[in-house]
Structure 1
Amino acid sequence: MKKSTLTLALITAGLVSSPSFAQSNEENWVGVYGLYYGTDKSKPIPTAHLDDGFGLGVEAGFRFDQNWAGRISASHLDISGSTNGVSDDGLMLGVDLMYFFNDFYVFGGVYDQDIGEGYEMLGYGLGRHWTLSENLSFVSEFAAYRDIDESLYDYGLKLGVSYTYGGSSGSSAPTPAPATATVSSDSDNDGVSNANDRCPNTPAGAKVDSYGCELDSDNDGVVNSKDACMNTPAGDEVNANGCTVLTEKDVSIEIRILFAHNSAVIEDPDSSEILDLVEFLKRYGQTDALIEGHASAPGTAAYNKDLSLRRANALKDLLMNRYDIRSSRLDTVGYGEERLLDKSNTAAAHRINRRIEVKISETVEVPK
């Protein structure tokens, strides 16, 4: 037996017989895997240089505690040659020390490989156990191997499955009652294992994130299962039910639009007065507007009343059709010449009397 193989055997024997392993209550595992193995291009066998190939293997892992573990593995490799179609196969044995970060782990160890010639190597890498069920995991791993004597570098990509079984305490420990023999790995049944669950007591049926905590879709600080208002605007102060805290506020707006002589046409539909009115109506969606139409004194009273109503309706149509204000929020009235602002018989007086006015003054509830 080669010196390196003897070394591996001694390390393995020490690993499985150590007091920490014998007393461990942590979960251990066994697994099978397929391996893609790439060799250093200058790695020789008697008749050629090795290139790359594939392998199959088995492993057994032993948890010392939540983070530390040991592993032994055996892989059968079939490696092709880089020239003359020559290939060779052989066995690779390994012993690793592993450190787990939840499901991820890093490892390092010693390996003995016998493919045409014997190689003693140091191996190290990164992997993950992907949970499929309470006992089964999918394993993915990348490893690098450095030949101790010849400074050659190989690498391997491994995919496999592992079966986890629970460790037991020493033989003197009492046998637990059947009702408590197994501790669920997902105590609140939210789909996130206890090891990764930052919120271990979520209500049954609640949707959770990858850390096992309830979702808060509108980011208002109230989880969905307790949120009675699921789409609270960003920045609003909310109560315990996730609804915007409201307070009463007096709001008002007043605008005036003038018209040409004998006309009901709004000359500037995008004037600042109209845009201010639109913004007000959209911001305070529960308010209603009364649009008052007026006319100057010249002409008959009946004609002026009809003209003033047409002027009021022109603004109503504009607000509905151009700015999507609901018809039910808009009322119109035509006062004709009944409410003159200036009763003098001058061109300037007639001009300011040809108008529409909108006055809104309400007490509304707004975000606090």
Structure 2
Amino acid sequence: MKKFLLLSALVSSVLLAGQKQYEISPMIGYDLAEGNIGIKHNGHYLGALEVQFNSPNSKISPEFSILYSPKAKYDIGGDTAITRGAFNGVYTFDSIDNLVPFAKAGIGIENVNNETSGNKNGFFLDAGAGLKYFFNDNIALKAEAIYLAKATGIQNKRFDNNLIAMVGLTFAFGETAVQEEPKQEPIKEEPKEEVVAAPVDGDDDNDGILNSKDQCPNTAAGVEVDANGCDNDIDKDGVVNAQDICPNTPLGAQVNDEGCPKEVTLNINFATNSAKIKDSSSTLLDEYAKFLTTYTNYSAHIVGHTDSRGAAAYNKKLSEKRAEAVVQALIARGVDTKQLSWEGMGEEQPIADNKTSEGRSQNRRIEAQLTRH
């Protein structure tokens, strides 16, 4: 229990409300072509399918897309089908409520089914920008504009230009994998030098306790000690060891008169956009439940928090569900329901800057406010 209180006060929770791993976007649009290509009215309609792969550790995601125009008419008569395949890198900006801006650039190849002297097969470079408006976690309205510059087989000294505008729906699914924190090697302590007892009983550490009775013979100068010569308040929380039931609280933590923290941060792991607690948090919940069942004069108020990404209303509900999930997990481990309460604060009480990845990570947390009756 003592190790648990120290651990829970030093770490923050991992509450991910990030983007899905995969996005598939069927689109329709219009291609405004350069006049020298010979397309009638300088344009034609097209359809597209875009597939994007997201990572929680990068703002740039790979995207594969196919654009198909079934019938582009020529000024000279006749028509042709045009098929394009492209590979792009998509940079996703921070969301503004439900809006997610993005920009992209890449390379592709264009196949013209019925070539003319002005419209040939060739490679192209593209760049574009757009917006996604999320109705919920899985469906969004997507709009984008793309500029294409194509070098044809016989016109390598210049590019043919196309401007494409498209709109469609994005279907997002799949959980992104959470990057595990790197393991730190334990710090090796240097072996302590063996102290040879003086033949005459003295007080080597000057704490007022003779060496023969001093169970802590190397107490620092000026530290108040007990009858055994040991630090009378080992965690420096103002509560002497004999009355401290939580003697390992971190330095500076606010404690009650029994030496226990008034508030701790629980490192509870959840699935992305879910209130289901992962199995990796089982041990932490076991230890916290053991404390509450041992000291029934304590109650805990569980509070969920999120970062500012996504809609505020959605973050509020998600934080409430996750706080309630922690409460139910504690009840299942034998904690009396009268000892527990919960609420969700969403993104309302950040403890760090939401503009940085590190700050958002600190804001995604579960807090447990302890009260002694």
Greater RCO (CA < 8 Å, at least 6 residues apart): 2
Same fold (TM over 0.5): no
- Using structure 1 for the length normalisation, give the TM-score: 0.40
Q: Which of these two proteins has the greater Rg computed from alpha carbons?
A: 1
